[in-house]
Structures are given as C-alpha cells and as structure tokens.
C-alpha cells in the first residue's frame, strides 16, 4: 500500500539508526571469503500508538557487509589487504511527522491509516 504525502497514519514501531562506536576490523579478523555483517538500524516498539502525517519516503541503509580485498599492483604496498564494503542492504521507510519538528522513520508494514 502506498501512502500519500500528508496522509494521517498511526504507528507503534519505528526504525532508528544505530550509533556505531567506530568499530574496526582488520584483515586478520576475516577467514578466506568471509563477510561480516554490521546492522545499521534497529526496530523500536513504542509504549503507545502515535499519530502522525506522512512527509515522504526515504531510502535507508539497514545493514553493511564487509570483506577483505587484496590490492594488486599498487605502488604503495603491493599485495596489501584492505577491509572494504562489499554491499549494503537498503530499503525504504516513510518519514512521519508526529509533532512540530519531530519525525520518525517507519516501515510501510508498521503503518495504519489514521482516523
């Protein structure tokens, strides 16, 4: 179901960005061909339902997958290994205003039409 701009909705669960404390991995932390997953968003259950208005739809990063890449033929350090982003899991969430100046990101399946 597509929600329209300005439509009144109710929701009880929101998606919140996870603060990352600069978590580092070195190439030694990976086994050959292994990828590591880092969650970027979490789902929060609210105490009571909120009523708000749709402000728009946003594309968000929900997870990042890291792996090791071997640099071939670089002048700085031939054969050096680097941890790099292999791919990111992305999805859409609605931006919902629930008071003047306060918004939440809400997944489509967590929205209900308002009264």
Looking at residue 84, its pLDDT comes to: 80
Looking at residue 77, its pLDDT comes to: 59
Q: Could you state, in order of their start, the residue ranges of all structural domains in the chain? A: 8-113
Cα–Cα distance for residue pair 53/36, rounded to 1 Å: 37
DSSP state string for the chain: -PPPTT-EEEEEEEEEEPPP------GGGS-TT--EEEE-EEEEEEEEEEEEEEEEEEEEEEEEEEEEEEPPS-SSSTT-EEEEEEEEEEEEEEEEEEETTEEEEE-GGGEEE--
The average pLDDT across 26-30 equals: 78
**Digit-coded pLDDT (tens) for 67-100:** 877 666 556 555 566 778 888 999 999 999 999 9
The average pLDDT across 34-39 equals: 84
């Amino acid at each position: 179901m597509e929600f329209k701009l300005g439509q009144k909705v109710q929701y009880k669960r929101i998606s919140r960005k996870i603060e990352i404390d600069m978590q580092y991995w070195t190439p030694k932390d990976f086994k050959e061909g292994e990828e590591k997953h880092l969650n970027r968003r979490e789902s929060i259950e609210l105490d009571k339902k909120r009523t708000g208005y749709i402000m728009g739809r946003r594309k968000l990063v929900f997870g990042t997958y890291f792996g090791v890449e071997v640099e071939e033929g670089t002048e700085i350090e031939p054969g050096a290994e680097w941890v790099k982003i292999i791919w990111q899991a992305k999805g859409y969430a609605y931006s919902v205003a629930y008071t003047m100046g306060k918004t939440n990101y809400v997944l489509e399946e967590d929205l209900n039409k308002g009264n």
